[in-house]
Structure 1
Amino acid sequence: MSLVNTPVKPFKTTAFKQGKFIEVSEADLAGKWSVFFFYPADFTFVCPTELGDLADHHADFAKLGVEIYSVSTDTHFTHKAWHDSSETIGKVQYAMLGDANGSITNNFEVMRAGQGLADRGTFIVDPNGIIQAVEVTAEGIGRDASELLRKIKAAQYVASHPGEVCPAKWQEGEATLAPSLDLVGKI
């Protein structure tokens, strides 16, 4: 079953963010767009390139009012150690959620059976805590923050313009579609 159009399940965890440990729960999502960015493990190979890419685009996400939550089954202590020892991860300003017991990873259905590691899962969550987009990739396939930004802009546009949809490769400012009987077979 897809998680699209379902609410984020309750959770509470400790995260590392901007030099501090903070508590994060589903209540923190209220009224804001959010991205949950699951990855297998700290101190690995593809993962730091992805988190670094998100860090490089952090200001763009902030302009859209989007909070980023990276999540792995490591602890918040491990996140701090990685942040302090890696130039790439040292750029991260968003919350790095610890999920040592796997509850959040399981809630989002991206836990690898028998491994205790998350798949590469990306979830766009609307201000009501409802999942609007899901992407899961295989271990060796890194994600692209600029494509994620495009998807968020499309999700935000559709949310604020009922009756309109964004076609393939839609970019902000381009034409949208208004589905209707008259449009059937005309595209």
Structure 2
Amino acid sequence: MSLINSEVKPFKATAFHNGEFVEVSDADLKGKWSVVFFYPADFTFICPTELGDLADNYAEFQKMGVEVYSVSTDTHFTHKAWHDASETIKKINYPMVGDPTGVISRGFDVMIEDSGLAERGTFVVDPDGKIQVVEITAGNIGRDADELLRKVKAAQYVAKNPNEVCPAKWKEGEETLAPSLDLVGKI
């Protein structure tokens, strides 16, 4: 079953955020756009490059009204230790959610059961708590925050303009398409 347009499953967890431990739940994803960004583990190799890239682009996500949540099966204590130890991770200002029981990872269908780690899964969640974008990549392939920003902008655009669609490589301000019988076979 596809996760597109499905509601985020209930969860409660503890996150490391702005020097504190805070509670996060599925309710926090409602009322605004969110990115839920799963990665395998703290203190690894590709993960800090991805999380650093998100941190470098976090202000742009915030300008768009989007909250970013990074999630791994590590604990919130491990997130704090990594934050304290790594110059790359120190620049993170978004919540780093601990999922040691795997409830969140299973709810988004990214749990690797035999290792207890999460796949590299990226989810864009709309203000109604419904998943609009799903991307899952192999463990050895890093993701790009610029491409994620483009996808979020497209998702926000079509949410505001339900009679239009964003074609391949669409960027904010470019022309969209209005599907109609007259357009069939003309693209």
What is the match of residue 176 of structure 2? 176
Overall identity of the aligned pairs, in %? 73
RMSD: 0.4
What is the match of residue 106 of structure 2? 106
What is the match of residue 143 of structure 1? 143
Alpha-carbon distance between aligned partners in 1 of 2:30 and 2:43, rounded to the nearest angstrom: 31
- The 4+ residue runs of structure 1 with deviation greater than 3 A are none
Alpha-carbon distance between aligned partners in 2 of 1:178 and 1:96, rounded to the nearest angstrom: 39
Alpha-carbon distance between aligned partners in 2 of 1:91 and 1:2, rounded to the nearest angstrom: 34
Q: Is 1:122–2:122 an aligned residue pair?
A: yes
Ranges in structure 1 where 5+ consecutive residues have no aligned partner: none
What is the match of residue 93 of structure 1? 93
TM-score when scaled to structure 1?
0.99
Alpha-carbon distance between aligned partners in 2 of 1:18 and 1:74, rounded to the nearest angstrom: 18
Q: CA deviation at 1:162?
A: 1.3
What is the match of residue 44 of structure 2? 44
What is the number of equivalent residue pairs in this alignment? 187
What is the match of residue 29 of structure 2? 29
Alpha-carbon distance between aligned partners in 1 of 2:112 and 2:12, rounded to the nearest angstrom: 21
Q: CA deviation at 1:101?
A: 0.3
Ranges in structure 2 where 5+ consecutive residues have no aligned partner: none
3-state DSSP of counterpart to 1:135: strand
Q: CA deviation at 1:113?
A: 2.3
3-state DSSP of counterpart to 1:155: helix
3-state DSSP of counterpart to 1:37: strand
Alpha-carbon distance between aligned partners in 2 of 1:106 and 1:132, rounded to the nearest angstrom: 18
Alpha-carbon distance between aligned partners in 2 of 1:182 and 1:156, rounded to the nearest angstrom: 26
TM-score when scaled to structure 2?
0.99
